[in-house]
Amino acid sequence: MKNIVVKLVTRPTIKGKRQFVPVNPKHNYPGDTVFILRWLPEGTTTYRTKTLPRGIGLKMAQMACASFEPPTVKEAKEEEQHSEAAEFGGQRSAFLLDKNTTFKKDGTPLDADTIHSYELVTAEFIKVTGRTKAGQITKQDMRNWIIKLKGRMAHRSVCNLYILVACFLKFCGIDHKTLLPQLIEPQSDPLVLGDRVDARRDDAICHLESVLSSHHVEEKITDGQRSRYFVRVAEQEYVVQNPTDKPAVFIVHHEIPENWIVDSDPQPASIDGSTAVFRLVAEPGQRVRLHVGMHRSDSINPN
């Protein structure tokens, strides 16, 4: 039997790509470094790997490498059949761990709702595609998943969920642009994450937190004449959540009924007919609130 060389490596991300790098015995590796055993089985051209437990340290990893006996080709195939189903799930677990240990610029972790969104979406994505490895994902898999989503939510909501999956695929070393179906390609500035459309169906991304209404009577004196007005007030608060790892812009459309005036701060970025358009900037993982207040004043007949 040919002597098989087992190498001890790490897999850092270099220039946006994860690469296998041989361990340098003189390097001081962080305590949470993940070490990997890598070898080329006899009679094959595909390398095999075995990931060692996180945090065991360089010395223990070197000992594990020295004592490791690579399985035979037959044993490797049997092991692969048992482990294949868990591989994509393992990448998902590593992805979620990465998000759970990611911190924003202000030093705070990603919002719990963001992490929960990643958990739900990636689990469903793996289930729907039925794949065991990220590299097996095809354009048709993406279409099937999107069509399933479109059966229960609006197009814009589907686009928002696609962003979450794109982040997951990028973590797995897959360029989602090569799989991007025509029916979901962005049609505007890629920083614009989504409109406030059908937000009630997409609570993880954008939703209404509160809807309030009230009324009162106001008195005004103009040129010595006293006038009374019945004033109706409507207030709504939107909450948007940026689930990505990059800053994003949300576009919120708010309908203005006839004879009503938006008097809240900030004012709309623009008004398109009877629709007020607001732009919200959210940092990675950030939750942003938008308060929209309107009023309508009707003159009260003194008689």
pTM metric for this prediction: 0.41
Task: Find which of 127-131, 157-161, 241-245 is predicted with most confidence, using mean pLDDT.
Answer: 127-131
Least confident of 7-11, 175-179, 291-295: 175-179
What pLDDT score does 156 carry?
66
List the one residue out of 100, 149, 156 whose CA is nearest residue 125. Answer: 149
Decide which of 110 and 265 is more confident: 265
- Write out pLDDT tens, residues 6-18: 999 999 888 878 8
What pLDDT score does 7 carry?
93
Ordered by start, the domain boundaries in the chain are 7-70, 98-187, 194-299
Task: Find which of 71-85, 171-185, 190-204, 232-246 is predicted with most confidence, using mean pLDDT.
Answer: 232-246
pLDDT tier at 76, thresholds 50, 70, 90: low
- Write out pLDDT tens, residues 184-223: 433 333 233 344 333 333 455 677 777 888 888 888 888 8
pLDDT value at 159 more than 60 = yes
What pLDDT score does 104 carry?
73
Least confident of 111-125, 130-144, 202-216: 202-216
Decide which of 1 and 261 is more confident: 261
- The distance of Cα 67 from the centroid of its chain, to the nearest Å, equals 41
pLDDT tier at 73, thresholds 50, 70, 90: low
pLDDT value at 120 more than 70 = yes
DSSP code per residue over the chain: -PPPP-EEEE--EETTEE--EE--TTS---TTPPPEEEE--TT-SS-EEEEPPTT--HHHHHHHHHH--PPPHHHHHHHHHHHHHHHHHHHHHHHHHHHHT-B-TTSPBPPHHHHHHHHHHHHHHHHHH--SSGGG--HHHHHHHHHHHHTTS-HHHHHHHHHHHHHHHHHTT--GGGG--GGG---S-TTEEEESSSGGG-TTTEEEEEEEEEEEEEEEEETTEEEEEEEEEEEEEEEEE--SSS-EEEEEEEE--TT-EE-SSSPPSEEETTEEEEEEEE-TT-EEEEEEEEEEEEEPP--
pLDDT tier at 75, thresholds 50, 70, 90: low
pLDDT value at 34 more than 70 = yes
C-beta separation of 34 from 51 below 8 A: yes
Least confident of 88-92, 104-108, 235-239: 104-108
Decide which of 74 and 44 is more confident: 44
